[in-house]
Amino acid sequence: MSQQRYSQFVRRLGGRGAGAWGIHGRALAARSRGEDVIVMSVGDPEFDTPATVAEAAHAALRAGDTHYTDMRGRQALRELIAARHRARTGQDVDAGNVVVVPGAQAGLFCASMCLGNPGDEIITTDPVYTTYEATIRASGATLVTVPLDSTRRFRIDLERLDAAVNDRTRAIFLANPNNPTGTVLHEDEMNFVVDLAARHGAWIVADEVYAEQVFDAPFVHFASLERSRERLVTVSSLSKSHAMTGWRLGWMVVPAEMAAHLENLMLAMLYGMPGFIQAAAIAALRECDGEVDAMREAYRRRRDLAMSQLADCRGIGCVRPDAGMFMLLDVSATGLAGGEFAARLFEEQGVSVLDAAAFGVAGEGYVRIAFAGADERLAEGCRRIRAFVDSLRPGAGQAAQLR
């Protein structure tokens, strides 16, 4: 069929990240055939959703909760989200500021569609999660990326950010904590972003999906900075924090006027989220703080395990993450590009990792590993990575400087 039959919108839905998952797909297929592969290419927790959450969904289904629901999400769930947001940030919001969406990815897409126009510019970092490119370009806005500073564990480069923002800038999309780097913004960096956005009348879209998985310091939300709130969109979900990736339950906290626009978008796209999933979300937020804490500690332990296994491996360097379930490995000293490293590692050792170039130009020469699996499989995956690096030709690279 001729491509001319499709809209320009369809063409904007591709991008660097669209083909990033080939290795992951091969690994899943091999695992389904019973092959001994270790999947370190995706952040899908191996933890089961907490039992109380599943039971809440079952109870709602048994009670017949299978009908249409409110476009913005049920009042009880939105009130609960608003209360938690107030307690954690000090921002005075209520249920009227909350819109329930099918995962944080949908929240980012909705933010892009409500804020961006052709001729506008929307800024994000490089690297950043693979879907950001298509999500931002879907609105017709121009994507502008600001490289993170790889010499400082991928911290934000404030001078480059300042140079990138202008009067065409409609919004700054920031994943904080960042995926794939695991970097968490410092409060002085956040204040710089807030002041910069305010000078240009730009929005801040804060993707805080990994906020519950910060390891070594209290997390500061953008909404905690009072000056940010007039043009702030906070996006989060239960996917990572509660091991609920497949439930597709996220939310946006926004100014009341934007919530009305989002309601119209929900009406056009989704016609409301399933009630039984919202019942599960209420149980998750009310009853599962202990499980969230336990999962965070598990990821901290796995980060430290991976660091201990790989830190002295000649030819690669570990970028120590502050949060999340991922770590970047600098493989440039092996003489292999990230994509070639990932392909050969899978072929020779049965370990799937992701070429970090999928996350942006600044990811070239890196691969991303995930801590989503059990400790023993993570340790075995790290052992196989070491074996692969050791098998490369002598002199392929010197020990990479650890960051």
**CATH assignment at residue 324:** 3.90.1150.10
Residue 282: inside a domain:
yes
User: Based on the domain organization, do 170 and 236 belong to the same domain?
Assistant: yes
* Residue 44 domain-assigned (yes or no): yes
| 100 and 209 housed in the same domain | yes
Asked whether residue 123 is assigned to any structural domain, the reply reads yes
| Main-chain dihedrals φ then ψ at residue 398, nearest 5 degrees | -90, 165
34 and 126, same domain (yes or no): no
Helix (H) or strand (E) holding 369: strand 366-370
> Which among 235, 263, 288 is the end of a domain?
288
Domain contains 400 = no
Task: For residue 353, give the amino acid letter.
Answer: V
Shared-domain flag, residues 227 and 347: no
User: 364 and 279 in one domain?
Assistant: no
**Distance from C-alpha of 251 to C-alpha of 238, rounded to nearest angstrom:** 9
The answer to whether residue 176 is domain-embedded is yes
The residues, any chain, with a CB within 8 Å of residue 207's CB and separated by 6 or more, are: 104, 108, 129, 173, 174, 175, 176, 235, 236
Which residues span the domain enclosing 125?
A: 51-288
Same-domain status, 43 and 66: no
Extract the runs of DSSP E, i.e. beta strands, from 1-150: 38-39, 98-101, 121-126, 142-147
Q: What is the mean pLDDT of residues 33-62?
A: 95
Domain boundary residue among 288, 322, 342? Answer: 288
Q: Does 61 lie in the same domain as 171?
A: yes
- 155 and 227 inside one domain: yes
The domain boundary residue, chosen from 268, 288, 308: 288
Question: Is the pLDDT confidence value at 402 over 90?
Answer: no
In a shared domain, residues 170 and 153: yes
Number of domains in the chain: 2
pLDDT tens for residues 124-136? 999 999 999 999 9
- The CATH number for 279's domain is 3.40.640.10
Over range 261-273, report the average pLDDT.
Answer: 96
Q: What is the pLDDT of residues 291-310, one digit of tens each?
A: 999 999 999 999 999 999 99
Q: How is residue 370 annotated by DSSP?
A: E
Distance CA 21, CA 42 (A): 9
In a domain, 398, yes or no: no
Q: At CA 29, angle to CA 178 and CA 347, rounded to 5?
A: 80
Verify that 194 and 284 share a domain, yes or no: yes
pLDDT in tens, 320-378: 999 999 999 999 999 999 999 999 999 999 999 999 999 999 999 999 999 988 999 99
The tens digit of pLDDT for each residue in 153-181 reads 999 999 999 999 999 999 999 999 999 99
The per-residue pLDDT for range 3-32, each reduced to its tens digit, is: 568 888 888 887 665 566 788 889 889 999
Sign of CA dihedral 127, 132, 138, 141: negative
- Give the model confidence (pLDDT) of 221-256 as tens digits: 999 999 999 999 999 999 999 999 999 999 999 999
Q: Within a domain: residue 401?
A: no
158 and 243 co-located in one domain: yes
Residue 350 is assigned to a structural domain of this protein: yes
77-88 per-position pLDDT tens digit: 999 999 999 999
Q: How far apart, in whole angstroms, are the C-alpha atoms of residue 367 and residue 346? A: 12
Q: Which residues are CB-neighbours of 234 under 8 A, at least 6 positions away?
A: 85, 206, 208, 221, 222, 223, 252, 253, 254
**166 and 255 assigned to the same domain:** yes
pLDDT by residue (tens digit) across 184-235? 999 999 999 999 999 999 999 999 999 999 999 999 999 999 999 999 999 9
